[in-house]
Structure 1
Amino acid sequence: MKPILRKVDSGNNSFSIREDIYPFLYNHWHYHPEIELTFIRKGTGIRLVGDSMAPFEDGDLILLGSNLPHMWRSDSIYFKNIPTLNIEAIAIHFREDFWGSAFMQLPELRSIKEMLDIAKRGLKITGKTKDIVIDAMEKNIHVTGSKRVEFLLGILDIISRTNEYSLLATPGFNKTYDLTTTDKINLIYTYTFNNFKNNISIKDAAEAASLSPNSFCRYFKTRTLKTYWQFLLEIRIGYACKLLIENEKSVSQICYECGFNNLSNFNRQFKSLLNITPLQYAKSYTVHVHTFVA
């Protein structure tokens, strides 16, 4: 299955500002020509952007460039129909040329244009810049008339003037990813998210995508620029980080819940990916939170 081309409805406006409240997010591996700015007001899960995989949580602010494949998937608990549990987000979608092809060529907007080019890899916006942009988004959900355009231009200008962001997809992703080719990646992602806590083999994952093991390995590396085992490890470690932050289970319990067979391997793989042990990670997060609150 190729990444789904999503059509964004802007109503009678030139671009879309939308507040979403859903039981969960699971919008499949997709892309659209609109640039997307998403603020996760409430919710946790896994975010895929190009060849980047990371947890998302309350307060995340993500800018995605045009036609960048991505996917938001809520944690498994959100699929259990718990009435008090939901996802809240504000999303803005706009085409780069919605204000006319000549507008972005103005010399005064060069920094914004350059920033939107960088956003083709995806940006996670952080620090004070994130706080300022989120505040503006909350205050302008229902803005109308010319104030809509003024608001959007204002927040793009703020983002273009900061270095408080991290890049998501690798530089090579957009150069190698072909949106027009037949793509089974969504089947693989779905199977992996549903089974990462279990003992997964290459054969099992390949069967989910109707591929032979050898074809599966070649295919996955071509589509994502990483091996399947690396991808699976990132999902398991990402879930472990979430459980460590919640601080409701021991490191040993978390190890087995995330799909690892023994504690020493879990510690080794965790440190190889994050350069810190699970216990150190949990302690550092606790210290950070206590310092912030103080």
Structure 2
Amino acid sequence: MSEERKVIHEITPLMHKDVLYIADRHKKEFTYPIHSHEVYELNFVEHASGVKRIVGDSSETIGDYDLVLITSADLEHVWEQADCHSEDIREITVQFDFNMTEDNFFGRNPFKGMRKMMTEAKKGLCFSMEDVLRVYTQLDTLSSIKDGFYAVSQFMSILYELSKSTTARTLATSSFAKIVIEDDSRRVLKVKNYINENFMHEIRLPILADMAGMSPSAFSRFFRLHTGRSLSDYIIDIRLGYASRMLVDTMKSVSEICFDCGFNNLSNFNRIFKKKKACSPTEFRENYHKTRIIV
């Protein structure tokens, strides 16, 4: 891989004392390159069926409506034209910087759900059509509000409604997004941390089960019940997340990355990667070779 990533540094329109930056525009195509930025972002796209949305190591083709929240400074993302032929795409981008830590006003009980949502959105959070319909009217009129206080108030209402979603889903893997693993169960958290620290080696079920104080069969059932995924699928996703990050951030060959991430067979790695990411490792890397911006 001879070409190096080109990173452009820009200043976000959201300045120090600002609260919101709202861009509501109609266009025929997406031309902005893959990028990341310090501030949080809620991005809504309308009438853009066929557009490819890339968030971290997630790549999906969207339908007519798409709503995504991103709260990580390190998570690259882009909406690409791909197979979209719409003549009137609408995109509403809201950038904001609310410090929702527990040691200030937003640490109070009414904001608990919003804080949880902000944490999940470090991996990119995609909302369902049901969620879009619940906030559409408020999103639609947000840019027309002239009074700053009322604009912030309406945006906070949008975030609150979205925080009640039961259908939102994360996009990037934890390992790609560099997110600290959190879990309600101490036993599962202990196992997840072990996998995260030893993904490059062979991981044996009896060792994990022993860490949780269970038999292998009981632990497998417990893990699936608690995470919604089989243990083997979870380990593969962790390894693929690290592999995707290495494809983006290093000059290592695909073969080197394959073995560095715990896969012991290159053809098997390529097959699993393509099945999970809908592209080969080389194609994934080429997507990130486009101009990247850090805002």
Q: Structure 1-normalised TM-score?
A: 0.56
Q: Report deviation, 1:85.
A: 2.2
Correspondence for 1:51? 57
Letter in 2 for 1:215: S
Distance 2:89 2:20 in 1: 23
Correspondence for 2:141? 139
Q: Secondary structure at the match of 2:253?
A: helix
Q: Report deviation, 1:50.
A: 1.0
Correspondence for 2:284? none
Distance 2:100 2:119 in 1: 16
Correspondence for 2:27? 22
Unaligned runs of 5+ in 1: 79-83, 178-208, 238-294
Letter in 2 for 1:70: H
1:36-47 maps to which residues of 2 (within 5 A)? 36-43=41-48, 44-47=50-53
Unaligned runs of 5+ in 2: 181-247, 281-295
**Of the candidates 9, 18, 24, which is equivalent to residue 13 of structure 2?**
9
Q: Report deviation, 1:157.
A: 0.9
Letter in 2 for 1:126: S
Letter in 1 for 2:134: I
> 1:40, 1:57 within 8 Å by CA — same for their partners in 2?
no
Distance 1:53 1:176 in 2: 19
- The superposition leaves residues 103-128 of structure 1 with CA deviations (integer Å, 9 ceiling, x where unpaired) of 32223212111110011111111143
Correspondence for 1:129? 131
Q: Specify whether residues 151 and 100 from structure 1 end up closer, same or farther in structure 2 by C-alpha distance, changes over 3 A only.
A: farther
1:215 partnered with 2:253: yes
Runs of 4+ in 1 over 3 A off after TM superposition: 2-7, 10-13, 98-101, 216-223, 225-237
Letter in 2 for 1:150: S
Q: Report deviation, 1:52.
A: 0.6
Letter in 2 for 1:9: P
Correspondence for 1:148? 151
Q: Secondary structure at the match of 1:172?
A: helix
Letter in 1 for 2:142: N
Letter in 1 for 2:253: S
**Of the candidates 113, 124, 148, which is equivalent to residue 115 of structure 2?**
113
Correspondence for 1:280? none
Q: Structure 2-normalised TM-score?
A: 0.56
Distance 2:157 2:58 in 1: 28
Letter in 1 for 2:157: G
Q: Specify whether residues 14 and 219 from structure 1 end up closer, same or farther in structure 2 by C-alpha distance, changes over 3 A only.
A: same
- The superposition leaves residues 133-164 of structure 1 with CA deviations (integer Å, 9 ceiling, x where unpaired) of 12210022221221011111111111111212
Q: Report deviation, 1:171.
A: 2.2
Query: RMSD value over aligned CA atoms?
Result: 3.7
Q: Specify whether residues 124 and 220 from structure 1 end up closer, same or farther in structure 2 by C-alpha distance, changes over 3 A only.
A: farther
Q: Secondary structure at the match of 2:174?
A: coil
Q: Specify whether residues 101 and 217 from structure 1 end up closer, same or farther in structure 2 by C-alpha distance, changes over 3 A only.
A: farther
- The superposition leaves residues 208-251 of structure 1 with CA deviations (integer Å, 9 ceiling, x where unpaired) of x9x99x7245459989x9966666665579xxxxxxxxxxxxxx
1:73-222 maps to which residues of 2 (within 5 A)? 73-75=80-82, 85-97=87-99, 102-143=104-145, 144-175=147-178, 215-218=253-256
Aligned length: 198
- The superposition leaves residues 4-63 of structure 1 with CA deviations (integer Å, 9 ceiling, x where unpaired) of 555331478421111122331132221111111111112231111111110023211111
> 2:123, 2:172 within 8 Å by CA — same for their partners in 1?
yes
1:234-245 maps to which residues of 2 (within 5 A)? 234-235=277-278
Q: Report deviation, 1:170.
A: 1.5
Correspondence for 1:283? none
Correspondence for 1:292? none
1:69 partnered with 2:70: no
Higher normalized contact order (CA 8 Å, seq sep 6+, divided by chain length): 2
Percent pairwise identity: 22
